[in-house]
Amino acid sequence: MLELCSMANSTIDLLLKRRSVLAKNLIEPGPSPEELQSILSAALRIPDHGRAEPWKIQILDKEAQSSLGDFCAELFNSENPDSKETHIELERNRPQRSPILLIITMCPNEKKLAKIPEVEQLLSTGAMCQNILVATQALGYNAQWVTDWPAYHVDVIKFLGHNDKTQIAGFIHIGTAAEEPNERPRPDIKEIVSKFRV
């Protein structure tokens, strides 16, 4: 019983202290292949109404990150021809800021839509992203879940091999924090939580 209480307390403590670290501040080392497998296994332990399983996870090593960065830079430049070179380079480096990059996508399971609306499938995908963040920190690493314009651009989605019904739920950067992040203000629980009375 004491062991179970200790595990429960450590889990609560982890959740209460969970903190994102900016992708630009994530350095080597990243998780080992075995640790990454644990993170991905934890990612699948999420609510999934009716086993719709609408989500996919792609792992991008540094070579794949570079390829995506080149594509995003060229795409940005083609749509913003007056942009400065520094901005184009920012877009090139955007996917390359951490040791490991995970891309989480959601394509609605259309066979399940009659009973499981798309919003529920999207929420399940969001839960997957959160599990990745928590599991990463539990193993002593850090992460940041980001989107920005590449997440919503159909050409980026197609470049990654998906159809036009697929949505990118997030790019999750994983690595080790170069420095301990400062705590940021959190919402006041009294402003968020209320007791419903009839």
For residues 98-126, average pLDDT? 97
Residue 90 has pLDDT above 60, yes or no: yes
CATH second-level architecture of 19-178?
Answer: 3-Layer(aba) Sandwich (3.40)
- Secondary structure element (H or E) that encloses residue 83, with its range: none
pTM: 0.92
**pLDDT single digits (tens) 30-60:** 999 999 999 999 999 999 999 999 999 999 9
Q: What are phi and psi of 33, to 5 degrees?
A: -55, -40
For residues 71-77, average pLDDT? 98
Instruction: Provide the pLDDT confidence category of residue 142 given band limits of 50, 70 and 90.
Output: very high
Tally of CB atoms within 10 A around 149 = 13
Residue 112 has pLDDT above 70, yes or no: yes
Q: Domain coordinates of the chain in residue numbers?
A: 19-178
Buried (b) or exposed (e) across 69-94, using 16+ Cβ within 10 A?
A: bebbbebbbeeeeeeeeeebeebbbb
For residues 87-115, average pLDDT? 97
